[in-house]
Amino acid sequence: MFKKLNILDEREKCLHEVSKEVTFPLSKEDKTLIGRCIDHLTYSQIPKYEKKYDLRPGMGLAFPQLGILKRIIVIVYEVDEGVFDNYVFINPKIISNSEEVIAAEAGEGCLSVNREIEGHVPRYARVTVEGYDEDGNKIRVRAREDLAIAFQHEIDHLNGILFFEKIDKNHRFYSNDEIRLI
């Protein structure tokens, strides 16, 4: 039975704090919550379930958004219509990045930000992320474009940073000559 997650709003203090490293083994509660995040994010990207459960579409969640200051992120990435890849990273770190910078042309959104915020968020076009899976095994992924943006966005949450804090107040929008917009 699906139960909607209680995602905190940007005004909550813990969303502006740095999360703690996780030790293994993971607790049963953490593993259960990871599963619930995957379900929530998957359903939020399938129109009939989005409507049925009144969900805002999202592809990523970080544990601080659920009020838990642990370095755990979950990304559910739609690779084809109705086909998803799940990324669960514990203690993720960006170990390398491209020089090229991109931005989501439509801007970024966040399940913890319940308002429209205009502006482009500069992000690396490609990142390599290392961390651990749920069983404590070291994992690594090389992400590009929108998946790279999602990893950077979620890792920012672990450091108490919300996406709109990265928008240049004096230069909210970029042209394709300045940054490649995707």
- Which residues, other chains included, contact 151 with Cβ-Cβ below 8 Å and sequence gap of 6+? 60, 73, 75, 87, 89, 92, 94, 127, 129, 141, 143
Contact 41, 62 (CB under 8 A): no
What b/e sequence results for 20-54 when a residue is b if at least 16 CB atoms lie within 10 Å of its CB, and e otherwise?
eebeeebeeebeebbebbbbbbbbbbbeeeeeeee
Q: Choose, from 108, 154, 165, 178, the residue flagged as catalytic.
A: 154
In which order are the strands placed within the sheet that holds 83-97?
A: 60-62, 72-80, 83-97, 126-132, 138-144
Q: For this structure, is 116 an active site residue?
A: no
The whole-angstrom separation of Cα 159 and Cα 19 is 6
Catalytic residue ranges:
154
